[in-house]
Protein backbone atom coordinates (compact mmCIF):
# COMPACT_ATOMS: atom_id res chain seq x y z
CA UNK A 1 0.00 0.00 0.00
CA UNK A 2 1.61 3.33 -1.06
CA UNK A 3 2.53 5.87 1.60
CA UNK A 4 0.07 8.58 0.50
CA UNK A 5 -2.87 6.29 1.17
CA UNK A 6 -1.49 5.30 4.59
CA UNK A 7 -0.82 8.91 5.60
CA UNK A 8 -4.20 10.10 4.26
CA UNK A 9 -6.07 7.34 6.11
CA UNK A 10 -4.12 8.02 9.33
CA UNK A 11 -5.34 11.61 9.13
CA UNK A 12 -8.93 10.41 8.51
CA UNK A 13 -9.17 12.10 5.12
CA UNK A 14 -11.00 10.85 2.07
CA UNK A 15 -9.46 11.31 -1.37
CA UNK A 16 -12.03 14.02 -2.03
CA UNK A 17 -11.20 15.88 1.19
CA UNK A 18 -7.48 15.73 0.40
CA UNK A 19 -8.24 17.00 -3.08
CA UNK A 20 -10.16 19.99 -1.68
CA UNK A 21 -7.44 20.83 0.85
CA UNK A 22 -4.58 20.53 -1.63
CA UNK A 23 -6.09 21.64 -4.92
CA UNK A 24 -4.78 18.39 -6.49
CA UNK A 25 -7.35 16.48 -8.53
CA UNK A 26 -8.90 13.31 -7.12
CA UNK A 27 -7.67 11.42 -10.19
CA UNK A 28 -4.05 12.47 -9.51
CA UNK A 29 -4.40 11.36 -5.87
CA UNK A 30 -5.78 8.01 -7.08
CA UNK A 31 -2.83 7.56 -9.46
CA UNK A 32 -0.34 8.30 -6.70
CA UNK A 33 -2.06 5.86 -4.35
CA UNK A 34 -1.98 3.25 -7.14
CA UNK A 35 1.81 3.52 -7.32
CA UNK A 36 2.77 6.55 -9.41
CA UNK A 37 5.43 8.60 -7.61
CA UNK A 38 4.46 12.23 -6.98
CA UNK A 39 6.90 14.86 -8.25
CA UNK A 40 7.47 18.59 -8.20
CA UNK A 41 4.53 20.78 -7.27
CA UNK A 42 2.27 17.82 -6.48
CA UNK A 43 4.81 16.32 -4.06
CA UNK A 44 5.46 19.64 -2.30
CA UNK A 45 1.77 20.49 -2.04
CA UNK A 46 0.73 17.10 -0.65
CA UNK A 47 3.61 17.10 1.85
CA UNK A 48 2.63 20.59 3.05
CA UNK A 49 -1.10 19.80 3.33
CA UNK A 50 -0.46 16.50 5.14
CA UNK A 51 2.28 18.07 7.32
CA UNK A 52 4.85 15.40 6.43
CA UNK A 53 8.24 15.48 4.78
CA UNK A 54 8.36 14.91 1.04
CA UNK A 55 10.50 11.81 1.54
CA UNK A 56 7.67 10.20 3.53
CA UNK A 57 5.46 10.33 0.43
CA UNK A 58 8.08 8.77 -1.84
CA UNK A 59 10.08 6.47 0.48
CA UNK A 60 8.71 2.94 0.16
CA UNK A 61 10.33 1.68 3.37
CA UNK A 62 8.52 4.08 5.72
CA UNK A 63 5.56 2.46 7.45
CA UNK A 64 3.01 4.82 8.98
CA UNK A 65 -0.14 2.72 8.88
CA UNK A 66 -2.31 2.50 11.99
CA UNK A 67 -3.33 -1.12 12.31
CA UNK A 68 -5.73 -2.74 14.75
CA UNK A 69 -4.34 -5.41 17.09
CA UNK A 70 -5.74 -8.31 15.07
CA UNK A 71 -4.30 -7.00 11.77
CA UNK A 72 -0.74 -6.53 13.08
CA UNK A 73 1.95 -8.55 11.40
CA UNK A 74 5.47 -8.86 12.72
CA UNK A 75 7.66 -6.05 11.43
CA UNK A 76 11.39 -6.67 11.04
CA UNK A 77 13.49 -5.11 13.83
CA UNK A 78 15.24 -2.74 11.39
CA UNK A 79 11.96 -1.06 10.34
CA UNK A 80 10.44 -0.40 13.76
CA UNK A 81 10.55 3.12 15.11
CA UNK A 82 11.15 3.36 18.85
CA UNK A 83 10.61 7.00 19.78
CA UNK A 84 12.17 6.59 23.22
CA UNK A 85 15.41 5.41 21.59
CA UNK A 86 15.23 8.23 19.05
CA UNK A 87 14.86 10.64 21.97
CA UNK A 88 17.99 9.17 23.56
CA UNK A 89 19.84 9.59 20.25
CA UNK A 90 18.74 13.24 20.20
CA UNK A 91 19.64 13.91 23.84
CA UNK A 92 23.07 12.29 23.44
CA UNK A 93 24.17 15.37 21.48
CA UNK A 94 23.76 17.54 24.57
CA UNK A 95 26.62 15.76 26.33
CA UNK A 96 29.07 16.77 23.61
CA UNK A 97 28.08 20.34 22.75
CA UNK A 98 31.56 21.63 23.50
CA UNK A 99 33.19 18.85 21.43
CA UNK A 100 31.49 19.38 18.06
CA UNK A 101 32.58 16.25 16.18
CA UNK A 102 31.22 14.08 19.00
CA UNK A 103 27.81 15.76 18.95
CA UNK A 104 27.47 14.17 15.49
CA UNK A 105 29.32 10.88 15.97
CA UNK A 106 27.69 9.79 19.25
CA UNK A 107 24.11 10.07 17.89
CA UNK A 108 25.18 8.16 14.76
CA UNK A 109 26.76 5.40 16.84
CA UNK A 110 23.71 5.19 19.13
CA UNK A 111 21.37 5.08 16.12
CA UNK A 112 23.37 2.12 14.81
CA UNK A 113 23.34 0.37 18.18
CA UNK A 114 19.59 0.94 18.61
CA UNK A 115 18.94 0.08 14.92
CA UNK A 116 17.08 3.36 14.39
CA UNK A 117 17.64 4.54 10.83
CA UNK A 118 14.48 6.56 10.30
CA UNK A 119 14.24 9.99 8.68
CA UNK A 120 13.85 11.38 12.21
CA UNK A 121 17.35 10.20 13.17
CA UNK A 122 18.77 11.53 9.90
CA UNK A 123 17.18 14.90 10.66
CA UNK A 124 18.60 14.94 14.20
CA UNK A 125 22.11 14.31 12.88
CA UNK A 126 21.64 16.78 10.01
CA UNK A 127 20.63 19.54 12.44
CA UNK A 128 23.76 18.82 14.51
CA UNK A 129 25.96 18.87 11.38
CA UNK A 130 24.50 22.21 10.35
CA UNK A 131 24.96 23.63 13.86
CA UNK A 132 28.56 22.36 13.89
CA UNK A 133 29.21 24.21 10.63
CA UNK A 134 27.40 27.44 11.53
CA UNK A 135 28.60 27.82 15.15
CA UNK A 136 32.32 28.38 14.35
CA UNK A 137 31.42 30.74 11.52
CA UNK A 138 29.31 32.87 13.87
CA UNK A 139 32.06 32.73 16.50
CA UNK A 140 34.73 33.85 14.02
CA UNK A 141 32.53 36.69 12.79
CA UNK A 142 32.09 37.78 16.41
CA UNK A 143 35.85 37.81 16.93
CA UNK A 144 36.47 39.79 13.74
CA UNK A 145 34.04 42.46 14.89
CA UNK A 146 36.42 43.12 17.83
CA UNK A 147 33.72 44.04 20.32
CA UNK A 148 35.72 42.92 23.34
CA UNK A 149 36.22 39.87 25.53
CA UNK A 150 32.85 40.21 27.27
CA UNK A 151 31.07 40.08 23.90
CA UNK A 152 33.07 37.01 22.90
CA UNK A 153 32.13 35.24 26.13
CA UNK A 154 28.46 36.15 25.66
CA UNK A 155 28.65 34.94 22.06
CA UNK A 156 30.10 31.57 23.11
CA UNK A 157 27.37 31.14 25.72
CA UNK A 158 24.68 32.10 23.20
CA UNK A 159 26.00 29.61 20.63
CA UNK A 160 26.07 26.76 23.17
CA UNK A 161 22.63 27.64 24.57
CA UNK A 162 21.18 27.73 21.06
CA UNK A 163 22.15 24.10 20.56
CA UNK A 164 20.87 23.14 24.02
CA UNK A 165 17.54 24.75 23.11
CA UNK A 166 17.38 22.91 19.76
CA UNK A 167 18.11 19.54 21.39
CA UNK A 168 15.67 19.98 24.30
CA UNK A 169 12.91 21.41 22.09
CA UNK A 170 13.26 18.51 19.66
CA UNK A 171 13.14 16.03 22.57
CA UNK A 172 9.89 17.59 23.78
CA UNK A 173 8.42 17.49 20.27
CA UNK A 174 9.41 13.82 19.84
CA UNK A 175 7.52 13.05 23.06
CA UNK A 176 4.51 15.11 22.09
CA UNK A 177 4.06 14.73 18.32
CA UNK A 178 6.58 12.09 17.23
CA UNK A 179 8.43 14.60 15.02
CA UNK A 180 11.08 17.30 15.32
CA UNK A 181 10.46 20.96 16.09
CA UNK A 182 13.73 22.18 14.56
CA UNK A 183 14.23 20.27 11.34
CA UNK A 184 15.70 20.85 7.91
CA UNK A 185 13.93 20.40 4.61
CA UNK A 186 16.82 18.16 3.52
CA UNK A 187 19.09 15.51 5.02
CA UNK A 188 22.86 15.86 5.16
CA UNK A 189 23.36 12.12 5.58
pLDDT digits (tens, 9 = 90+) for 18-55: 888 889 898 988 888 888 888 888 888 988 888 888 88
Q: Are 167 and 90 in contact (CB under 8 A)?
A: yes
pLDDT score, position 129: 92
CA nearest to 36, candidates 81, 76, 3:
3
Predicted local distance difference test score (pLDDT) of residue 4? 85
What pLDDT does 147 receive? 84
For residue 130, count other CB atoms closer than 10 A to its CB: 15
pTM (2 d.p.): 0.57
Task: Find the distance separating the first CA and the last CA of the chain, reported in whole Å.
Answer: 27
pLDDT interval class at 6 (50, 70, 90): confident
Q: What pLDDT is stored for residue 157 in this prediction?
A: 93
Q: List domains and CATH numbers for the chain.
A: 3-71 (1.10.260.40), 77-177 (no CATH)
Amino acid sequence: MPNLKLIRENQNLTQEELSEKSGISVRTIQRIEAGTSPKGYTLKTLAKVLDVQESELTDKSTKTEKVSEEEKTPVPQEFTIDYSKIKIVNLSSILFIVLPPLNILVPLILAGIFKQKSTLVKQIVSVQILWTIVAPIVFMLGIFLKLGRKFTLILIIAIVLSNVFIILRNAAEIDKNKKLYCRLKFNMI
